[in-house]
Structure 1
Amino acid sequence: MSHSTTPQRPDPVWGIDNDIKVWNLRQNKLVYSMHGHGDSLTGLSLSSEGSYLLSNSMDNTVRIWDVRPFAPKERCVKIFQGNIHNFEKNLLRCSWSADGSKIAAGSADRFVYVWDTTSRRILYKLPGHAGSVNEVAFHPEEPIVLSGASDKRLYMGEIQ
């Protein structure tokens, strides 16, 4: 039996205490926790290069966290607002564009929110769903966002 010398990437997970915990699964050891959300987390998404983590929370914020090794102790680098959670307490997901220039998140107000990651400005508030938007995903090559909602429909929206 041989052991790999390649370092194992810690895996972020969340619990019911509003914190994101990063574990080394090989050693079954908690590496660090990230604090900042004021309510339950509903979605996590790792950036394509693996340096940043996106989180969506019932505190009505979406946050970007620096998960690189040796990052500063305060790992929350950006906070985005606009999307909302409501009494349904659905698991509203979040997603990165392939190039990392945009993020998107579902919302209980039936809109898909798309932000610019640099300016934190809402670029798009895409309508159409008749229920809470629970899932969002960017096309890997085309400027298209897919959304799924409690109305049991999938929509594709074209963005610039």
Structure 2
Amino acid sequence: MEIDFKEIALYVIIFIIVIIAAQHLDVVVSGSMEPVFYRGDIVLVEKADFLGIHEFNADDVKVGDVVVYDAVWFDQPVIHRIIDIKNINGTTMYMIKGDNNDSPDPYYVQASQIREKVVTIDDNLVVIPKIGYLSLWLRGL
């Protein structure tokens, strides 16, 4: 049996691409952003820090951007929209809200809490409908 190093290299490259792509997909776990996206949808994100690469600068997010951030009030990352930006005691703070929620999230967010931003193409968020349900089921969510 002869080892085909080109084929092995191709499989390694495909594996690396799949792993990197998977790191840029987040499953939506609630309906707080409906009708923009729904529970079980997957959103494509760019990361504030991916292996030392800054795909976007968290200090440059703006009102209207949908971000993923580490909330102090919830034990998992939250995907919501920035609705206001304020300077409080010299620190830029972001007010964030789910489109389907009646009120903003309970605490302001600092840039250091923002991990990801949902990718937009022509002002449309990149959303893959429904294929995240399997992940939610496997995680018991």
Q: Answer with 1 or 2: which has the greater Rg.
A: 2
> Which one scores higher on RCO, CA 8 angstroms, separation ≥ 6?
2
Considering fraction of residues, name the structure with more helix: 2
TM tier relative to shorter chain: under 0.3
Q: Normalising by structure 1, report the TM-score.
A: 0.24
Decide which structure has greater strand share: 1
